Chain A
């Protein structure tokens, strides 16, 4: 089971080899409310850590999803176009956003682990 890491912007990523799957956390989907649209990057797009990689729209507002690490988009979750509510229902599973090829393993290791992220959320971030 791959280790899941977290950002301060409430994205998660786990690595399989050098490919990381990226989504938003359960806390993030709960804060957003009902997701009605997701705009995903083109496969091949180069993303930078903290840069905008996707957009998630709830009934009320649009929010950016940032790349957790530098990388290149190798796949996106096309199923979200028809069923954006999957982001609410299964944020850590079927509600994933994109897969990115990650160059720097050390940068992955430096992200928050789950206990650290839980503490971060509990402190009111």
Chain B
């Protein structure tokens, strides 16, 4: 990569470490990010499923909301139950618009005297503007975009954390706490984006590289880039905003009704509630589904999905190769009548309609820590 290419991109606190590890850096959401290390995407993917992978996700936006009314104010922007979130618990939700579309998806943690948010890198500036415009005068929005965020993911993650940050190992799935890891002051969440057990670790940028080196020194841990992060989350059936979910999809079409609690369903009061509650009651016109091509050709984002008679019924929103299932996999939206697992469909790749099947999500079972 040329120097001139690099200069327009922001760097995470781990940039020099990525270079030292031999990463291939690519532009992503305005940052120079490692797409892979010399081992390659398949090996990195399989390492995260077999042992533990370390991901730099410092490009994501860390935001703090403060104010006595923060929870009720945020409920005006998201369909999740935030007021009922237990202390130290985390909930996955989305910022919806008036049409029921998804502006972004995010994590919200209850830090007792604040709410801790993590939003997508590509949307963080817009999200903060949206929050500031709509939360009201009683809530302050603090950004911590300089802060580092590392993800340690895989079946060995808890063992590794036991060696370096034992304070964090009692954390249940989707909870977080301030903990020391390798002697550094961190905020650790039991969460991730791979379908595996794991931790997401927020740390001061001055300590990020040292912490990452300590984690990488563990024999179970290898660095994993954005390429495998994408294939891991696809196998886990997790949505990527801007691809599987956006302002043209609703949470119900996307199969995310589980994120909307009973009280919010009864009371509404979030953007797009009319449409979202109607779709909960009577079903959406289309649904996000898993797709397994019969042959070996991956079906990429944008691929047309046809029914058995050749009629267009939808489009692929994420597609590639699942290193754990060792076959091409995809997600997309299809008309509800064709969304039942087992339905035969066709995917148009390079002009040829190729046989494929609708399959349940996820492609690989989740192995989260039991709380």
A residues near B (Cβ < 8 Å) are 33-34, 36-37, 39, 55, 57-62, 81, 84-85, 124
Contact = CB atoms under 8 A, between A and B. Distances in A.
Interface stretch (B12-20, B36-44, B126-134, B247-255): B36-44
Contact of A60 (B41, B297, B323): B41
Nearest to A124: B2
Given A57-B297, A62-B298, A81-B296, A36 B321 contact: yes
| Interface SS majority for chain B | mixed
Interface size class, chain B: 10 to 19
6 contacts: A36-B42, A36-B296, A39-B297, A59-B320, A62-B298, A124-B2
A60 B328 contact: no
Of the listed residues B2, B43, B296, B320, the one surrounded by the most CB atoms of chain A closer than 10 A to its CB is: B296
Interface of B: 2, 35-36, 40-43, 227, 231, 296-298, 300, 320-321, 323, 328, 350
A37 B40 contact: no
Nearest to B38: A30
Contacts, number: 44
Nearest to A61: B300
A55 B350 contact: yes
Contacts of B231: 59
B328 A36 contact: yes
Given A33-B41, A36-B298, A62-B350, 11 more contacts: A33-B40, A37-B321, A57-B298, A58-B41, A59-B41, A60-B320, A61-B300, A62-B298, A62-B300, A81-B296, A85-B42
A60 B228 CA distance: 9
A85 to B, nearest CB: 8
B227 A33 contact: yes
A16 B264 CA distance: 73
A82 B297 CA distance: 12
Contacts of B2: 124
Nearest to A36: B321
Nearest to A57: B298
Contacts of A84: 296
A33 B321 contact: no
